[in-house]
Amino acid sequence: MYRLAQEIHRRQGDGDRQASVVAAIGDIYQEQAQFDSALAAFQTALCLYQQHSSHPVEIAMQFDHIGNTYFERGELDKALKAFGDALHVFKLLGHRHGEAQSLGNIGLLHRRRGAEVEALDYLAQARAIYRDTGDRGAGGCAGAGGDG
């Protein structure tokens, strides 16, 4: 069904919708732990969004998806690069929630590497943004070491 929708959007020249369908396919592959297929889908969606999108936040979100896929595969250097790219775009757009999400992802990556000091720094930055933006569900609640 997704492939048919993708083909219809491609024929109609609707790059945004085609990218959306491809990204959804990537989500399904990711959920099934088919990381090579997920990565290919997210990279294709990124390319489509870069070429056609009037919504640049989608570009940052694809970088985030790519980072998560690399993270799941254990390719932490590639994940860090993708999360950094997402963070850069979110910052340029002034998208505070996306910025906090990317900072949190980078923090979790450092934690997995055993770099606790760096992890705490990134996670604290994410938490501060969530608190500042009133996003209580994502980071504004008191937790470990918390004062919130």
pLDDT at 14: 54
Q: How far apart are the first and last CA of the chain?
A: 45
Which band of pLDDT confidence, cut at 50, 70 and 90, is reported for residue 15? low
Does the domain at residues 1-54 carry the CATH identifier 1.10.8?
Answer: no
* Reported CATH class of domain 56-142: mainly alpha
Q: What is the pLDDT of residues 91-126, one digit of tens each?
A: 999 999 999 999 999 999 999 999 999 999 999 999
Confirm if 100 and 126 have CB atoms less than 8 A apart: yes
Radius of gyration of the chain (CA): 16
Give, in order, the Cα–Cα distances in Å from 63 to each of 1, 9, 85, 102, 135: 25, 22, 6, 10, 22
Residue 139 in this model has a pLDDT that exceeds 80: no
CATH 1.25.40.10 residue spans of the chain: 56-142
